[in-house]
Amino acid sequence: MSKILILGLPGSGKSTQIEKISEHLKIPSIQMGAILRKIAQEEGELGDKVRLMMAEGKLVDDETVADIIKIECTSSGDSYVLEGYPRTKKQIDLFEPDFDSVFYLDIPMEKARERMVERGRKDDTEEAIQKRFEVQMKDMDYIKNHYQDRLTVIDSTKSIAEVFARILENIK
């Protein structure tokens, strides 16, 4: 039984690691960005709003993401690995999932930028990447500090396998 949170800048490797952890521990993975990318494909007011925010690299409003994550966490049971939430202090205030272990994937901004340019996802334009760094860094120190008692910082410039091994060693 383990509830794990993966934190890090855009391009730090959160999605890459969460998939490996989920497969290895056989626990559900919850990826806020992936959930929102699906919603962005839907027609209607919510889909339109989410599509616009994501294309510009801005955060979707706190209430919407808190409502989504509450449903996801409740239906995932006793164990999960999550990334992309919380991203603001307000999200913590609105709904805070339980976490036993929290990891921060540490990487210089330039290295993360290089990885995203190479990956070439739809929202990996120069402007959207810059905006994502700005908005996601805003509350990052607050969030890291909030989870200080169960936080492990991992050097995410290392290989995918090395980062994964370090995470596994430190899961509580």
Alpha-carbon radius of gyration of the chain:
15
CA distance linking residue 102 with residue 126, whole number of Å: 29
> What is residue 32's three-state secondary structure?
helix
Sequence-separated contacts (24+) of 145-150 with Cβ below 8 Å: 146/92, 147/5, 147/7, 147/99, 147/102, 150/99, 150/100, 150/101, 150/102
Question: Binder to ligand AP5 among 21, 27, 30, 54 (CB under 6 A)?
Answer: 54
CB burial of residue 70 (10 Å; 0-12, 13-18, 19+): middle
> What is residue 167's three-state secondary structure?
helix
Question: Binder to ligand AP5 among 3, 12, 27, 82 (CB under 6 A)?
Answer: 12
Closest CB to ligand AP5 belongs to which residue?
Answer: 33
CA distance linking residue 84 with residue 7, whole number of Å: 7
Nearer to ligand AP5 by Cβ, of 1 and 91: the residue is 91
Question: Binder to ligand AP5 among 4, 20, 51, 57 (CB under 6 A)?
Answer: 57
Question: Binder to ligand AP5 among 8, 29, 80, 99 (CB under 6 A)?
Answer: 8
Smallest separation (angstroms) from ligand AP5 to the CB of 12: 4
Question: Binder to ligand AP5 among 5, 36, 73, 154 (CB under 6 A)?
Answer: 36
Question: Binder to ligand AP5 among 132, 139, 151, 154 (CB under 6 A)?
Answer: 132
> What is the identity of the amino acid at 8?
G
Mask: binding to ligand AP5, 136-155, rule CB under 6 A, as x and -? Answer: --------------------
Neighbours of 155 (CB within 10 A): 11
Decide if residue 87 touches ligand AP5 (CB under 6 A). yes
Decide if residue 73 touches ligand AP5 (CB under 6 A). no
Binding positions for ligand AP5, rule: CB under 6 A: 8, 10-16, 32-33, 36, 53-54, 57-60, 65, 84-85, 87, 91, 115-116, 119, 132, 156, 159-160, 163
